[in-house]
Amino acid sequence: MAERFKGALTVAEQNILAQNDNAYFLESEIETFNKSTSINGVIQDINFSAENFQNMIRNRIRWVETLKRMGWSKAAVQARIRSYYENKRSLRSSWDMVQAESSPSARQRGETDFAIARRLMKISRVKSTFGQAYTHMESHTIPQGKNIPRPPK
């Protein structure tokens, strides 16, 4: 186990993620959250109690419990989680799960079609790796893009 230090998460928040026997957060996932920096390199202050962060934890617990009921071992579940990050050409991070759980207030009406497509792609990647039980697609409404061509005259 890696030595804990205060970064973007407090030591207590890191311990909550690491010691949650129902969520199986990997050390690399906790480290990714803890070492989160802004564009200018300053360590961010993550709002651990934010709705989307807590939804991510709840959905991970629900997903792990579903797999346990199906007879999966802890090692098999962790291998499945690890497989999401390994050997992929696209850049994947622990933040993908938080973004998949974004609160409605985080979805702005002024999103471009490209930003909507990128968000939906992240959601579909998480869903294809972890299954339908991990993300609830019906809660992810697709806002209308702002780049809508005018109808022909």
pLDDT at 75: 92
CA distance 45 to 66: 32
**116 vs 66: CA distance, rounded Å:** 30
What is the mean pLDDT of the segment spanning 16-29? 86
Residue that wins the pLDDT comparison between 143 and 81 = 81
The per-residue pLDDT for range 34-65, each reduced to its tens digit, is 888 888 888 888 888 888 888 888 888 998 99
Please report the pLDDT score of residue 76 as a whole number: 92
Kindly tell me if the per-residue pLDDT of 146 is higher than 70: no
User: pLDDT category, 106, cuts 50, 70, 90?
Assistant: very low
Mean pLDDT, the chain, integer: 78
pLDDT at 141 over 60: no
Per-residue confidence (pLDDT) for residue 95, from 0 to 100: 83
- Exposed, middle or buried, 64 (CB in 10 Å: 0-12/13-18/19+)? buried
| pLDDT tops 70 at residue 3 | no
The predicted model gives 78-107 an average pLDDT of: 75
Helix spans in 9-140 (H): 11-19, 27-34, 51-69, 74-85, 95-100, 113-130
pTM, full prediction: 0.63
Portion of the chain with pLDDT greater than 90, in percent: 7
Residue 71: per-residue pLDDT: 92
What are the structure tokens assigned to 107, written together?
């979805």
Please report the pLDDT score of residue 104 as a whole number.
57
Look up tokens 């497509």; give the residue: 117
Domain extents for the chain? Answer: 11-139
